[in-house]
Structure 1
Amino acid sequence: MTGTISFYLSLIPLLSSIFATTVTSNPIARRAEPAAKPGFNRIWYEDWGHKNGITHNWVFDLGTSYPGQVAQWGTGEIQTYTNKTENIKIVNKVLWITPKKLKDAKGKITWTSGRIESRRGSQWACPDGKKLLVEASIKLGSAGEAQQKGIWPAFWMLGDVFRGQGYKGWPEVGEIDIMESVNGMRQTWGLVHCGIYDGQIPIRGPCNEPDGKGGFIKGIGRGLWHTYGIEIDRTSKNWKTEKITWIINGVRRHSVTGAQINNATAWDFLAHKKMFVLLNVAVGGGFPNGVEPGNALTPFSTTIDGDSVGMQVDWVGVWQQA
């Protein structure tokens, strides 16, 4: 979710260059507690039941950029993030993030939405020789694709050094996109970003920036609960054979290894250093534009707002191998 507009505009060739798998397991038909994880200890958990609500474990990202940093969150998205309940709220212990479309007296349309990140102090690294799991139970909006052009929900992580540097240093700080989906499509992406990208030369560095490395998964049912997660596995104690694996409903989908990144420093940021979690629904920008024919600018006139194009989150958890 963090990066340059050209990153997302370049995703069309990515669709054919990274492998895809199809979800064949049954989706979660109702809200459910996390599955038992033998051999793991839960070290952080959010089920939206705290008396302090969202701010118990999270901070709001507001406006159109981090303070003093790249406009439109670096991706060309057009919404303004707020902490208003029309955009982000808790209902019956479920987080709802809802994009809203506004029209002024002159007919100009603007969008608002919600974005949060785990509080400082809530960031995690996988210890050497162990595994780390990060998962969330998420339901994506069930409206048709024509009504969701430009809608871009995401569950992802950024290297905590990004905050320490004043929200500077992408993609060197490392990014793991656990789940991204655009335009109401029945598929999600799972990618990593790392190394250096100066916005000038496409496809460079250990993570092939601005594309990133990873895969996409087809057949994701909308309007149903799915558990999305990643496992960082450092049990080999050799950075080249360590791996990050994307998991949906308990089924492993695709992985990226240290050897595939082939850069010890970049892999260190991705798999060894602390990361924090983000949840948001963006509107417009390079990614949803880039998967449309001719890189058409989204959202379209057919794009609607409201809960049927938003994202619901039942729980988020972090587990570490005992």
Structure 2
Amino acid sequence: MTGTISSYISLLPLLSTVFTTLGASSPIEKRAEAPVKTGFNRVWWENWGHKDGIPHNWVYNLGTSYPGQVEQWGTGEIQTYTNKTENIRVVNKVLYITPKKVKDAKGKITWTSARLEGRKGNQWACADGKKMLVEASIKLGSASEAQQKGIWPAFWMLGDVFRDRGYKGWPEVGEIDIMESVNGLRQTWGLVHCGIYDGQKPIRGPCNEPDGKGGFVKGVGRGIWNTYGIEIDRTSKDWKTEKITWLINGVRRHSISGSEVNNATAWDFLAHRKMFILLNVAVGGGFPNGVEAAQTPFSTTIDGDNVGMQVDWVGVYQQI
């Protein structure tokens, strides 16, 4: 979700990427709290039930960029992020992030939406020789594909050093996209971004920027609760055989190892250092445009909860 405007243009083919079909993996029920997991400590969770609301654990990202940084959040997305209840609210311990169409004084349609990042202090790293899980229960919009062209929900993580540097240094700081979905497709992507990206083609660096490395899963249900997560596994104690694995409803879908990245520094940022969590719904930009092979959103794209993202809970687990 972070990078240069062209970062996702060539992502559609992902010819070197693994993909799987979800098959019979079952959606979860709404729980409003991250579940307990055998062999792990639940070190942090969000159930949207705090008296002080969303700001208890989260900071709103507002506008069209980090202060002084690349416009359109570096990806060409067209929405403006707000903290208005029409874009972000909690109802019955469920977070709603909702893109909205807005007409300006000249009748031009613009878009608003919302984006959160974890507060400073809410960042985690997998301990050497252990595993770490990061999961969230998410419901994606159930509107038709024609009505969701350009809608781009995401659950992801960035290296905490990104904040320390004044939101500079992508993709070196490391990015793990736990779940991205575009254009209403019954398909989700799980990718990593790392190393360098200089705006040149073809893809380059240890994470094949601007595409990133990872995979995607077909057949993902929309309008139902699914648990999306990653497992960082450092139990081998050899960075080349350590793994990041993407899970849907607890089922392992695809993985990437240190040897596949083949760069110790890049892997260190991805698997060893602290990261913070982000949740957002973007509109337009390089990824949905690249997948659709056209400029999005379309005139048929609707706004509202049926194209937004709902989040029941978020949890971080460290192996005992």
**In structure 2, what is the Cα distance between the partners aligned to 1:267 and 1:247?**
20
> What SS class does the counterpart of residue 13 from structure 1 fall into?
coil
TM-score by length of 1: 0.97
Structure 2 counterpart SS, 1:12: coil
Shift of 1:29: 5.4
Query: Counterpart of 1:304?
Result: 302
2:178–2:190: 8 Å Cα contact kept in structure 1? Answer: yes
Q: 1:72 matched to which residue of 2?
A: 72
Amino acid at match of 2:141: G
Cα pair 1:172 1:196 within 8 Å, conserved = yes
CA contact (8 A) 2:177 2:192 kept: yes
- The question of whether the paired residues in 2 share the 8 Å contact of 1:3 and 1:171 is answered with yes
Q: Distance in 2 between matches of 1:106 and 1:82?
A: 21
In the alignment, which residue of structure 1 is the partner of 2:133? 133
- State the 1:296 CA deviation: 0.8
Does the aligned pair in 2 maintain the 1:27–1:224 contact within 8 Å? no
- CA deviation string 1:261-311 (max 9, x = no partner): 00000000000000000000000000000011xx21000000000000000
Equivalence for 2:313 = 315
For residue 249 of structure 1, what is the aligned residue in structure 2?
249
SS in 1 for 2:12: helix
Name the residue aligned to 1:90: 90
Whether 1:164 aligns to 2:170 is no
Paired residue type of 1:182: V
Aligned length: 319
State the partner residue of 1:124.
124
Q: Which runs of 4+ in 1 moved over 3 A?
A: 33-36
Matched, 1:13 2:29: no
Question: Which consecutive unaligned segments of at least 5 residues does structure 2 have?
Answer: none
Distance in 2 (CA, whole Å) between partners of 1:252 and 1:263 is 24
Distance 1:162 1:142 in 2: 34
Residue identity in the other structure for 2:318: Q
Alignment-mate amino acid for residue 144 of structure 2: G
Q: CA deviation at 1:35?
A: 4.2
Compared with structure 1, are the counterparts of its residues 186 and 263 closer, same or farther at alpha carbon in structure 2 (3 Å cutoff)? same
Shift in Å at residue 13 of structure 1?
Answer: 2.7
What are the ranges of 5 or more consecutive residues in structure 1 without an aligned counterpart?
Answer: none
Q: Percent identity?
A: 80
Superposition TM-score, scaled by structure 2 size: 0.98
Cα distance in 2 for partners of 1:56, 1:201 equals 42
| 1:233 paired residue number | 233
Measure, in 1, the Cα distance between the counterparts of 2:253 and 2:210: 23
Partners of 1:238 and 1:17 lie apart in 2 by 25
For 1:81 and 1:22, locate their aligned partners in 2 and report how far apart those are by CA, in whole Å: 33
Q: Which residue of 2 aligns with 1:152?
A: 152
Q: Which residue of 1 aligns with 2:4?
A: 4
Matched to 1:307, the amino acid is D
Q: Which residue of structure 1 lines up, in the alignment, with residue 103 of structure 2?
A: 103
Deviation at 1:56, TM superposition (A): 0.2
Q: Give how far 1:4 is off.
A: 1.5
Q: What's the Cα RMSD here?
A: 1.0
Contact kept? 1:27, 1:221, Cα under 8 Å: no
Q: CA deviation at 1:12?
A: 2.2
CA distance in 2, matches of 1:42, 1:305: 35
Matched to 2:228, the amino acid is: Y
Corresponding position: 1:22 with 2:43: no
